[in-house]
């Protein structure tokens, strides 16, 4: 059967969150990390998410990956393509949000689409085109210190316009509040003025519901995962989706458990400190790794004797001063690549040593870990809250793994240990 919805996500954690939101609404949703893995998914799924590691790669590589993913989804007859990016609009003036949206617009023939990064549940809101993190403009929040995609301009119309030749406009909150017909009129006016992209204001869940009512049947839509949760109700009303929700409970997975954290977000460090109140945490020194120390072997030797007593955490996460120290030696991209390589290699050795449950903190880290584990498809469980989505592997060749791929910026402070414990019970 043809897919109702096909999403291309620019990182693993966000892609899993979107899939989990659809699963929670009773949608049979497949999740893969490469377009080639789509063929291994059941033919009766209604949605699919392809989540790649494209957020901070060179723009031409991201565009190529998105084009390949779009072709694969179009081959499955997809009704709507969706570009999923972070609620903090993680990008730079070189991309990759603008260039990837451009190629999808060309491939779908869409004259117009909207950008809806808002995630009110996580405190990310857009008002008059400006992005807020809780009560602060994004440019005044800790996001301004992001080592790879710092947000220094809160005006998303300006931010996106620097990334694309397509003219960018605004779908303001007063129009969103006026209803679907008012929004359609505004969109027609923007199109008449030569605008092809528009930032959509959304400060509350009702705004997301209104925007979903406008966009659920568009050939192309972009945004954070949050708006995706509102689409299944429209599919059901129009007879595209079965009324009875699909049951997609995850099986329990026993065995040793580990947290691997690469995110340097303040919330990630807070979560690791909360974990450390109960179980050991090893903070890896990336300068030593740069100097040739076998930090992977050292971490493995530290972890294995402790796992009999319970989970452990191993982190390359660090505060801003430590990140700057490593970047001074390796550069921004080099420092990030080193941390991802270390945790990816460590994940493989831990898996081979019998670890079966993982929480991976950070979108780029998650991509590196799945690549090293040679995992290209997952069965995703129902959404549990911002940054809290989990999955199991589905490969008869290997023992089943339970995975939580989480955004470094999201999730409760005390989530790490309870998440690992819950994987043993399924759900």
- 180 sits in the region (left: phi over 0; alpha: psi -120 to 50; else beta) called alpha
Question: Using one digit for the tens of pLDDT, what is the confidence trace for 15-32?
Answer: 999 999 999 999 999 999
In the chain, the domains with their CATH numbers are: 5-237 (3.40.50.10840), 257-423 (3.40.980.20)
| Longest pairwise C-alpha distance within the chain | 67
In angstroms, how far is the first alpha carbon of the chain from the final one?
28
Query: Distance between CA 154 and CA 139 in Å, rounded?
Result: 6
pLDDT for 389: 82
Q: Which two tokens stand for residue 80?
A: 């709507």
- Sequence-distant (6+) residues with CB within 8 A of 64 are none
Average pLDDT, the chain: 92
156-201 pLDDT, tens per residue? 999 999 999 999 999 999 999 999 999 999 999 999 999 999 999 9
Q: How far apart are CA 347 and CA 293, in angstroms?
A: 18
The predicted model scores a pTM of: 0.89
Q: The tokens of 123 are what?
A: 């405190």
Residue written as token pair 């992977």:
296
Nearest to 138 by CA among 117, 122, 154, 155: 154
| Segment 78-108, tens digit of pLDDT | 999 999 999 999 999 999 999 999 999 999 9
Model pLDDT, residue 125 = 98
């Amino acid at each position: 059967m043809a897919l109702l919805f096909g999403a291309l996500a620019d990182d693993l954690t966000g892609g899993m969150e979107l899939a989990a939101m659809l699963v929670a609404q009773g949608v049979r949703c497949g999740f893969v990390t490469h377009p080639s893995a789509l063929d291994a998914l059941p033919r009766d799924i209604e949605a699919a998410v392809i989540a790649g590691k494209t957020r901070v790669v060179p723009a031409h590589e991201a565009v190529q990956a998105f084009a390949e993913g779009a072709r694969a989804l179009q081959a499955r007859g997809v009704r709507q393509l969706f570009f999923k990016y972070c609620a903090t609009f993680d990008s730079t003036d070189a991309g990759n949000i603008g260039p990837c949206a451009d190629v999808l617009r060309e491939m779908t023939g869409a004259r117009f689409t909207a950008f809806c990064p808002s995630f009110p549940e996580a405190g990310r809101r857009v008002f008059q085109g400006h992005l807020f993190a809780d009560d602060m403009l994004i440019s005044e929040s800790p996001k301004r210190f992001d080592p790879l995609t710092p947000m220094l301009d809160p005006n998303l119309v300006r931010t996106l316009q620097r990334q694309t030749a397509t003219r960018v406009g605004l779908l303001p909150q007063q129009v969103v509040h006026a209803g679907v017909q008012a929004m359609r009129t505004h969109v027609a006016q923007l199109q008449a003025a030569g605008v092809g992209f528009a930032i959509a204001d959304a400060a509350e869940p009702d705004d997301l519901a209104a925007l979903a009512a406008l966009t659920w049947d568009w050939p192309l839509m972009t945004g954070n995962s949050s708006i995706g949760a509102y689409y299944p109700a429209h599919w059901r009303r129009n007879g595209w989706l079965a009324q009875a929700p699909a049951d997609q409970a995850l099986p329990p997975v026993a065995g040793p458990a580990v947290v691997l954290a690469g995110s340097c977000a303040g919330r990630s460090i807070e979560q690791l400190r909360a974990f450390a109140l109960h179980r050991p945490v090893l903070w890896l020194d990336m300068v030593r790794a740069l100097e040739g120390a076998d930090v992977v072997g050292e971490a493995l030797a530290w972890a294995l004797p402790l796992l009999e007593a319970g989970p452990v955490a191993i982190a390359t996460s660090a505060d801003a001063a430590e990140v700057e120290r490593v970047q001074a030696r390796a550069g921004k991209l080099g420092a990030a690549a080193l941390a991802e390589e270390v945790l990816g290699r460590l994940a493989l050795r831990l898996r081979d040593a019998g670890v079966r449950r993982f929480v991976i903190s950070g979108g780029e880290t998650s991509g590196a870990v799945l690549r090293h584990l040679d995992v290209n498809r997952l069965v995703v469980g129902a959404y549990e809250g911002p940054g809290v989505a989990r999955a199991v592997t589905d490969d008869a060749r290997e023992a089943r793994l339970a995975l939580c791929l989480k955004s470094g910026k999201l999730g409760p402070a005390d989530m790490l240990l309870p998440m690992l414990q819950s994987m043993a019970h399924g759900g």
